[in-house]
Amino acid sequence: MIKGLKTALGAVTVGLLAGASLAHAQGADTELVKKGEYVARLGDCVACHTALHGQVYAGGLTIETPVGTIYSTNITPDPTYGIGSYTLEDFDKAIRHGVRKDGSSLYPAMPYPSFARMSDEDIKALYAYFMHGVKPVAQPNKPVGISWPLSMRWPLSIWRSTFAPTPKPFTPAPGTDAEIARGEYLVTGPGHCGACHTPRGLGMQEKALDASGGADFLAGGAPIDNWIAPSLRNDPVVGIGRWSEEDLYLFLKSGRTDHSAVFGGMADVVGWSTQYFTDADLHAMAKYLKALPPVPPSRGDYTYDASTAQALDSGNTSAPGAATYVEQCAICHRNDGGGVGRMFPPLAGNSVVVTDNPTSVAHIIVAGGVLPPTNWAPSAVAMPGYKSVLSDQQIADVVNFIRTSWGNKAPANVTASDIQKLRVNHAPISTTSWGFGGDATATWGVFHPQPYGSGWTFAPQTHTGEDAAQ
């Protein structure tokens, strides 16, 4: 009888808990949760807070920094390991202020300097989504891999007070076109484009958080997992000066245009985030980027030079790297460097090919890459890696050949040693050696070499090509 009573009581308890859980879910504002899910897409929260092959939002993604390794945290509503005990105020403090529930500061790998301008309504919706629309996952957070004393958190509060803006909902300048204003909010706020595309200073701070910061804003960042985030300004050679608004819209929606294809960390952004944006939001972002104040062209304009194609067509492969290009690359990218629209990107006049730092083009030749499928372009296109096919010298030669052909005017300074370090140690190509160099190429100087190439950055792992969680 006692056993039967215990069973009955247990059933009642389970029923009450289930009922409470159901009531909790039903009590949430369905429309608010739905809006919050979209805001989470705008912020691409899932890409950083999901480990490779991991559970969604459960954290654990490796993020390399110049001082050691940190890991993204569990942001599911699990009450023990996640944010299930967070109030709306706690949540807002973390998102816009960079302060955890326990009062300690977050590492600025969390882009709270950008999120500081998010609207109260978007924060409320985002909170509703994470509390009521995300499945709890009881997964412990990983401890940081930073040695003491650099692992101490209290200096981060100084960083916040020095570099992070006071949280304030975005307000456009008087007279700003409504569509451009929406695009500015998305790019500088939840989209946090500058976290990758704006160079960082000696304090790991973004040198500019919006266009008021001048030419540094969205001028291109440092290597992130061996991919370069290029300039989003109007420079016709290293930026998007020759892109139209429609090009930008298609790129963010599908990951490919007739003259470009997404890869690396940006492939995660398209695969997990921008392909889900409304057309209105994508057009707003494109219009805002094209409306940014012009910057002086760093290398003049681009003019196609047909002499490389003519030489290759005639069988002249005497230039270093030319024979390798014809044998391994031309079948997709063609002798004229034009590629195949929306499949194999052109190499002629490609801004990623001619960036000051050649890591992106070297890395994709060494390790390969994947143009991910999207809802709007469901075919996946993969480029094989050549690290086991070509020698380090052959890869260096073909990188230099690509960067100096068809009118491309980038330095031909990649060496076999650079490729060996990239292939064996996963080390990006550095454009400086020891010392501090210029603003865009600062290192740790004689105390500690910057291990992720020129400049400073946070480098999360790339999902695309490693897992298919998106």
pLDDT tens-digit profile of 292-346? 999 999 888 999 999 999 999 999 999 999 999 999 999 999 999 999 988 899 9
Look up residue 116 and give its two tokens.
């500081």
Mean pLDDT across 86-93: 98
- Cα separation, 68 vs 149, whole angstroms: 12
pLDDT bin (cut points 50, 70, 90) of residue 430 is confident
Mean pLDDT to the nearest integer, 439-466: 56
For residue 119, report the phi and psi dihedrals to the nearest 5 degrees.
-75, 155
97 DSSP assignment: I
Higher pLDDT among residues 463 and 184, named by residue: 184
pLDDT > 70? residue 187 = yes
d(CA 360, CA 44): 22
Task: Determine the pLDDT at residue 16.
Answer: 38
Which of the four pLDDT bands, split at 50, 70 and 90, describes residue 3?
Answer: very low
Asked whether residue 368 carries a pLDDT value surpassing 50, the answer given is yes
Residue 226 has pLDDT above 50, yes or no: yes
Is the pLDDT confidence value at 233 over 90?
yes
On whether 196 is known to bind a ligand per the annotation, the reply is yes
Has residue 9 got a pLDDT over 70?
Answer: no
For residue 447, the model assigns a pLDDT of: 33
Query: Which residues, including other chains, have CB under 8 Å from residue 148's CB and lie 6 or more apart?
Result: none
Average pLDDT over residues 92-117: 96
Secondary structure class of 340 (helix, strand, coil): strand
pLDDT at position 203, please?
86
CB 231 within 8 A of CB 218: yes
With b for 16 or more beta-carbon neighbours within 10 A and e for fewer, the 194-214 pattern comes to bbbbbbbbeebbbbbbbbeee
pTM: 0.89
Rounded percentage of the chain residues whose pLDDT exceeds 70: 88
Higher pLDDT: 297 or 281? It is 281
> Among residues 108, 133, 167, which one has the least CA distance to residue 34?
133
**Within 13 Å, how many C-alpha atoms sit on residue 119's CB side?**
13
Q: What is the pLDDT of residue 299?
A: 87
Report, as an integer, the average pLDDT of 358-383: 92
pLDDT given at position 455: 57
Burial bucket for residue 42 (CB in 10 Å: 0-12, 13-18, 19+): buried
pLDDT value at 12 more than 70: no
Give the helix/strand (H/E) hosting 370.
strand 369-371
Q: Which helix (H) or strand (E) holds 425?
A: helix 416-425
DSSP string, 120-158: HHHHHHHHHHHHHTS-----PPPPPB--TTTT-SHHHHH
User: Does 333 carry a binding-site annotation?
Assistant: yes
Asked if the model's pLDDT at residue 21 lies above 80, the reply is: no
Chain centre to alpha carbon of residue 272: 11
Whether the pLDDT of residue 14 is over 70: the answer is no
pLDDT at 66: 84
pLDDT at 212: 96
Structure tokens at 82: 């996640």
pLDDT averaged over the chain?
A: 88
* Whether the Cβ atoms of residue 145 and residue 64 lie closer than 8 Å to each other: no
Taking the chain, what is the end-to-end CA distance rounded to the nearest angstrom?
52
When mean pLDDT is compared across 31-45, 146-160, 222-236, 455-469, the lowest value belongs to 455-469
Q: What are phi and psi of 223, to 5 degrees?
A: -60, 130
Would you state the pLDDT for residue 341?
Answer: 87
Task: For 306-425, give the CATH class.
Answer: mainly alpha
pLDDT at 453: 37
**pLDDT value for 438:** 36
Q: Enumerate the domain spans of the chain.
A: 28-155, 306-425
Please determine, for residue 20, whether its predicted confidence score (pLDDT) is greater than 90: no
Helix (H) and strand (E) counts for the chain?
18, 9
Q: Please, are residues 88 and 70 in contact by the beta-carbon 8 Å criterion?
A: no
Token code pair at residue 463: 């999902």
Ligand-binding site membership of 45 (annotated): yes
pLDDT at 65: 87
Q: Which of 40-49, 303-312, 448-457 has the lowest mean pLDDT?
A: 448-457
The per-residue DSSP string of 274-329 comes to GGGS-HHHHHHHHHHHHHSPP---SS------THHHHHHHTT---STTHHHHHHHT
Map tokens 């997709």 to a residue.
Answer: 332
Query: Is 53 annotated as belonging to a binding site?
Result: no
Identify the residue whose tokens are 């070509």.
390
49 is in an annotated binding site: yes
Average pLDDT over residues 200-206: 89
Q: How confident is the model at residue 443 (pLDDT cuts 50, 70, 90)?
A: very low
């440092």: which residue's tokens? Answer: 222
CA distance linking residue 88 with residue 356, whole number of Å: 44
Q: pLDDT per residue over 124-155, tens digit each? A: 999 999 999 999 999 999 999 988 887 888 89
